[in-house]
A and B are shown apart, each in its own frame.
Chain A
Amino acid sequence: MIPSTPTIGVLALQGAFEVHARRLASLGANTALIRTPEQLAPLDALVLPGGESTTFLWHLERSGFYDILNAFVRTKPVFGTCAGCILLAKEVSNPAQKSFGVLDISVERNAYGRQNDSAILTSETILPGGPLEMVFIRAPRISRIGPGVESLANRETTGGIAASPVLIRQGNLLAATFHPELSEDTRVHQLFLDIVRSAT
């Protein structure tokens, strides 16, 4: 039973952890910045933020953090954005790297190019409330989703790169290849809070 004010951790080894924590707090969650494996214990849910996935992995592979987090993402609600989505994926390319493999998707890192190819796009989603602004920064691309994965929003074909899902859900796991924490729109974080509150 999740209490009505859930405690949501944000992995704070590196990256955009502060903006996620601020957003979740503004929506009524208790938040905690997580830098060591012991800090995972009291959490109801976790956000894996954007940043550099290679840096996250470097930190995680020290002091047994990787294995403890690997167990956590299989039992609790987790929201991964950008690098966080890459860590959750079953298969990672460009280049191939280690991941928890809990989310049945294939992800290509930096699929749209470098920072000059970063973009802010607006697109329809299945969330109520009209089009959603999406901030893509050196974004990855989800090239395959498994049968148990629901796509909530797509990025249209851009620069000759085929359309693909950008916001996906598989049970209590939510992942985005864009950065909802960098937009004013709170709907994606609200969706995650709803998932956390209804998790049993």
Chain B
Amino acid sequence: MANNNGNHTSTSLRLKTGLAEMLKGGVIMDVMDVDQAIIAEKAGAVAVMALERVPAMIRAQGGVARMSHPGMIKAIQKAVSIPVMAKVRIGHFVEAQVLETLSVDFIDESEVLTPADELHHIDKHAFKTPFVCGAKDLGEALRRIAEGAALIRTKGEPGTGDVIHAVRHMRQITSEIKALTVLSDQELYAAAKNLRAPYELVVSVARTGKLPVPNFSAGGIATPADAALMMQLGAETVFVGSGIFMKEGNIRLEVGLAPNGQPLAPEERAEAESRATAIVRAATHFDDPAIVAEASEDCLGAMKGLAVGTIEVADMMQNRGW
């Protein structure tokens, strides 16, 4: 826990993790236009992530994925009262400066976009706006926290609708934390070396048994049961990307892009709303199987998805980030 000495860094970090605290027990949804942002807010989302293409579309279309257009972010900020997040490429601190200027509420330095730096992540202490970063293991989480991340999300494999790597990364971090708590003081130096993480943060995790910032989950969560699974495994909130606005059965490249301002077709909208509300319900009542069952029943279809086992390692988004 941050101390209370009032210096700039500690004050700033407490405000950043304070907002993350307010987002706990909820669902953060990827949205690609104003219409989807409104659907997300009405369905009970705690925040929206404004991006031009959800991960499943980026995966299918290829090309360089970058920060969203400022006009689109501003339109979404105007349309909803909940926090608005947006993504920047790993290491692209100028995209982050732009998003800070736009007053987004959280910046996601994300492996979903094409990385801009193959060595350095953004120095996140330099920003007033809080950052969330992905992690596959404890060392990666602590390196991001050392750089100033106020929130960690396990990476999973974005855009697949396959929860297996979200589970793997959450279990990995949890078991590495547990392992630290039984080490003696003299063993923590070697642990820090092996984790490639700052010693002080390793000591903090060993003493408290948890990360010094909240820990959410992302990457492949597509159904109410997936959301409840990640919450039971220790996620404090879930990010749902492609799972809500991708229609059952196929990946439709044009959905939601709405270059001509066309809203979703009524049937498509009803299905997306049902998925959004069902996942919100399951995330809150994650430990009540009867409610998760009801939510699953109310949910109209899920994205067909892409089994992670069939993706070449070189094509995995989770391996971006160092």
Binding site for B on A (CB under 8 A): 12-19, 35-36, 50-52, 54-55, 58-59, 62, 82-83, 94-95, 109-110, 113-120, 133, 135, 137-138, 179, 182-184
Q: Are A54 and B106 in contact (CB under 8 A)?
A: no
Binding site for A on B (CB under 8 A): 4, 6, 11, 14-15, 18-19, 21-26, 41-47, 77, 81-83, 100, 103-106, 128-130, 277, 280-281, 284-285, 288
Neighbour of A118 across the interface among B19, B24, B77, B277, CB < 8 A? B19
Q: Given A54-B81, A59-B284, A113-B103, verify A119-B22 contact (CB < 8 Å).
A: no
**Quick one: closest A residue to B1, CB to CB?**
A184
Q: Given A52-B82, A55-B45, A116-B129, verify A16-B15 contact (CB < 8 Å).
A: no
Q: Are A35 and B288 in contact (CB under 8 A)?
A: yes
Q: Are A59 and B44 in contact (CB under 8 A)?
A: yes
Q: Are A58 and B128 in contact (CB under 8 A)?
A: no
Determine the chain A residues whose CB is within 8 A of the CB of B15 once the complex forms. 115, 118-120, 135, 137
Q: Are B18 and A137 in contact (CB under 8 A)?
A: yes
Determine the chain A residues whose CB is within 8 A of the CB of B280 once the complex forms. 55, 58-59
CA–CA, A110 and B80, complex, Å:
11
CA–CA, A59 and B83, complex, Å:
18
Q: What 5 A-B pairs have minimum CB-CB distances, sorted nearest first? A: A58-B44, A115-B105, A14-B25, A114-B103, A14-B26
Q: Are B46 and A55 in contact (CB under 8 A)?
A: yes
CA–CA, A50 and B19, complex, Å:
10
Q: Given A52-B46, A55-B46, verify A137-B284 contact (CB < 8 Å).
A: no
Q: Are A116 and B25 in contact (CB under 8 A)?
A: no
Q: Are A13 and B103 in contact (CB under 8 A)?
A: no
Q: Given A58-B43, A94-B81, verify A17-B25 contact (CB < 8 Å).
A: yes
9 additional A-B residue pairs with CB within 8 Å, beyond A12-B25, A35-B285, A95-B81: A35-B288, A54-B81, A55-B46, A55-B82, A58-B280, A109-B81, A115-B130, A118-B18, A138-B83
Determine the chain B residues whose CB is within 8 A of the CB of A15 once the complex forms. 21-26
Determine the chain A residues whose CB is within 8 A of the CB of B129 once the complex forms. 115-116
Determine the chain B residues whose CB is within 8 A of the CB of A62 once the complex forms. 281
Neighbour of A115 across the interface among B44, B45, B103, CB < 8 A? B103
From residue A183, how far is it (CB to closest CB) to chain B in Å?
7
Determine the chain A residues whose CB is within 8 A of the CB of B24 once the complex forms. 14-18, 51
CA–CA, A157 and B57, complex, Å:
47
From residue B124, how far is it (CB to closest CB) to chain A in Å?
14
**Quick one: closest A residue to B127, CB to CB?**
A116
Q: Are A114 and B105 in contact (CB under 8 A)?
A: yes
Neighbour of B284 across the interface among A13, A82, A138, CB < 8 A? A13
From residue A138, how far is it (CB to closest CB) to chain B in Å?
7
Q: Are B26 and A55 in contact (CB under 8 A)?
A: yes
Chain A interface mostly helix, strand, loop or mixed?
A: loop
CA–CA, A200 and B25, complex, Å:
33
CA–CA, A83 and B26, complex, Å:
14
Q: Are B83 and A116 in contact (CB under 8 A)?
A: no
Determine the chain A residues whose CB is within 8 A of the CB of B25 once the complex forms. 12-15, 17, 51
Q: Are B284 and A116 in contact (CB under 8 A)?
A: no
Q: Are A51 and B44 in contact (CB under 8 A)?
A: no
Determine the chain A residues whose CB is within 8 A of the CB of B104 once the complex forms. 114-115
Neighbour of B22 across the interface among A36, A110, A137, CB < 8 A? A137
From residue A159, how far is it (CB to closest CB) to chain B in Å?
13
Determine the chain A residues whose CB is within 8 A of the CB of B105 once the complex forms. 114-115, 138
From residue A111, how far is it (CB to closest CB) to chain B in Å?
12
Determine the chain B residues whose CB is within 8 A of the CB of A12 once the complex forms. 25, 284
Determine the chain B residues whose CB is within 8 A of the CB of A119 once the complex forms. 15
CA–CA, A187 and B21, complex, Å:
21
**Quick one: closest A residue to B3, CB to CB?**
A184
Q: Are A115 and B106 in contact (CB under 8 A)?
A: yes
CA–CA, A95 and B79, complex, Å:
11
**Quick one: closest B residue to A94, CB to CB?**
B81
CA–CA, A36 and B105, complex, Å:
30
User: Which of A50, A52, A113 gathers the greatest number of chain B CB atoms within 10 Å?
Assistant: A52
From residue B299, how far is it (CB to closest CB) to chain A in Å?
15
**Subset of 14 A-B contacts with CB under 8 Å:** A13-B284, A14-B26, A35-B288, A54-B41, A55-B45, A114-B77, A114-B104, A114-B105, A115-B104, A115-B106, A116-B128, A120-B6, A135-B18, A182-B14
From residue B270, how far is it (CB to closest CB) to chain A in Å?
17
From residue B97, how far is it (CB to closest CB) to chain A in Å?
13
Determine the chain A residues whose CB is within 8 A of the CB of B100 once the complex forms. 116
Q: Are B83 and A115 in contact (CB under 8 A)?
A: yes
**Quick one: closest A residue to B85, CB to CB?**
A115
From residue B241, how far is it (CB to closest CB) to chain A in Å?
19
